[in-house]
Amino acid sequence: MKPLTGIKVVDFGQFLSAPSATLRLADLGAEVLKIERPGTGDICRSLYISDCVIDGDSSLFHAINRNKKSVAIDLKDPESRPVIERLIGDADVVVTNYRPGVASRLSVDYESVRRINPSVVYGEITGYGNEGPWIGKPGQDLLAQALSGICWLNGNADQPPTPMGLSVADLFAGQLLVQGIMAGLLRAKRTGEGAHVHVSLLEALLDMQFEVFTTYLNDGHKPPRRSSVNNANAYISAPYGIYRTSDGYLALAMIAIPALGKLIGCDELLSYENPDEWHEKRDDIKRIIVRHLASQTTKHWLSILEPADVWCADVYTWDKLMRTEAFHDLDMVQKVRRDDGTTVATTCCPIRIDGERYKGGPAAPTVGQDDNEYL
């Protein structure tokens, strides 16, 4: 039995943050019902990237909404209220990611929902919290990244602050919401008490940075210094980073510099015996390594470094990764299907339970496809 079998989730969310949370709940066995506006539905449906449209919906929408159901309801229409109240009354979990104020206008804020269903676990994602001067700001991933300081960790020192190249604020906030919701569900099972769980994109980004941000809070507020050469972590010493070789790339994690010099036959590195220098002279050291590694192939270097138990790796594209036996054994890809026969290849739940990789479930729903069952 999947762990969340029997849990009913009503999802008013759009785009990525909240829907990625309910995706995980669905992966783990919950029944997730998307409430969508009639006609257009979740705006993510039309957020196309790479010109990839699958049966009318974007690949992003398909990735985020597999294994869910959809009903089309106009929340502004008073006639739809009894249906909304019935669905909320039946739910264990209600999820929203409106801008502050919108949920109460639509009477789906926590207070309204709790009046209908006192033991409900209500999960909410905002950009910057429900109070303070930023509540009116758009809760958009890049903008939250820009304000969180994270862009000063990423990219090389000579680059402008560089965002992480994915919607990491949405993704992390979504997963933190899952944690809060499930903690609330466990308590609700034990005590009958409901919960109002709140996660903001900004706090999710700070939590992502908590190790290095903690360092900053206690080192006299020294600003992080990105490496000028193949930056991979502003706080970690040479050789940490990804290097070009004559035919590709090589990732090097932590290793003593003279030991690395000896292994790769780079005499210039041998004199860096003091570990403090690996940090202070990080860029000089990395430039020496850059010059040296460019002379041979990735395979050559791996054949020297791996047997010596140096923390190193090839650097793969998805193409290369997916041709490996290791990827095949990981079993992280599945095909899901719509009733009309449309198939979508996508990833699976990253969590294995009782030895099983959960798969299947229909592909993402069309708008209102389950109206007959629920309305």
Partner 1 sequence: MKPLEGVLVLDFCQYLAGPSAAMRLADLGARVIKVERPVVGDGARRLALEGLWSDGDAVNFHAINRNKESVTFNTKDSDDLAKVKKLVAKADVLIEAFRPGVMDKMGLGYDDVHAINPGIIYGSVSGYGTVGPWTRKPGQDLLVQSLSGLAWLNGDADQPPMPFALSLADSYTGVHLVEGILSCLIRRETTGKGGHVEVSLLSSILDLQFEVITTYLNDGHRPPHRGEFHNAHAYLAAPYGIYETSDGYIALAMGSVSRIGELIGSPHVAAHTDESEWFTKRDDIKREIASVLERNTTAHWLGILEPAGVWCSDVYTWEQLMASDAFKALDFIQNVARDGDTELLTTRCPIRFVGEKRTDSKPSPRLGEDTEHIIDEFGLNNTKEELA
Q: Which stretch binds partner 1 (CB under 8 A): 94-102, 250-258, 265-273, 366-374?
A: 250-258
What are 236's two structure tokens?
Answer: 């970690």
Q: Is 362 in the site for partner 1 (CB under 8 A)?
A: no
Instruction: Report the distance separating Cα 29 and Cα 8, nearest Å.
Output: 10
Judge whether 72 and 368 are in contact, CB under 8 Å: yes
**Which residues inside 59-98 make contact with partner 1, applying CB under 8 A?**
59-60, 62-64
The one segment of 34-42, 71-79, 224-232, 259-267 that binds partner 1 by CB under 8 A: 224-232
Q: In angstroms, give the least distance from the CB of 303 to partner 1.
A: 15
Nearest to 8 by CA among 259, 212, 181: 181
Residue pair 223/157 in contact (Cβ under 8 Å)? The answer is no
Which residues 151-190 are close enough to bind partner 1 by CB under 8 A?
151-156, 159-168, 171-172, 175-180, 182-187, 189-190
Should residue 8 be labelled a site residue for partner 1 when binding is judged by CB under 8 A?
Answer: no
Is 193 one of the binding residues for partner 1 (CB under 8 A)? yes
Choose one: 83-91, 213-221, 262-270, 365-373; the region binding partner 1 (CB under 8 A): 213-221
Cβ 180 to partner 1 shortest distance, Å: 4
From residue 10 to residue 49, the character string flagging contacts with partner 1 as x (rule: CB under 8 A) and all else as - is: ------x-------x---xx-------------------x
Q: How many CA atoms lie within 13 A of 18 on its CB side?
A: 29
In this structure, the dihedral spanned by the alpha carbons of residues 255, 256, 258 and 259, taken in order and rounded to 10 degrees, is -60
The per-residue DSSP string of 192-254 comes to ---EEEEEEHHHHHHHHTHHHHHHHHHTTSPPP---SSS-S-TTS-TT-EEEE-SSSEEEE-S
Residue 287 near partner 1 by CB under 8 A: no
User: Could you confirm whether 170 is annotated as catalytic?
Assistant: yes
Measured between alpha carbons, how far is 283 from 279 in angstroms, rounded to an integer? 9
Q: Which entry of 11, 92, 109, 170 is annotated as an active-site residue?
A: 170
Note whether 255 binds partner 1 by CB under 8 A. no
374 near partner 1, judged by CB under 8 A: no
Whole-number Å distance between alpha carbons of 227 and 229: 5
Task: Return the active site residues.
Answer: 170
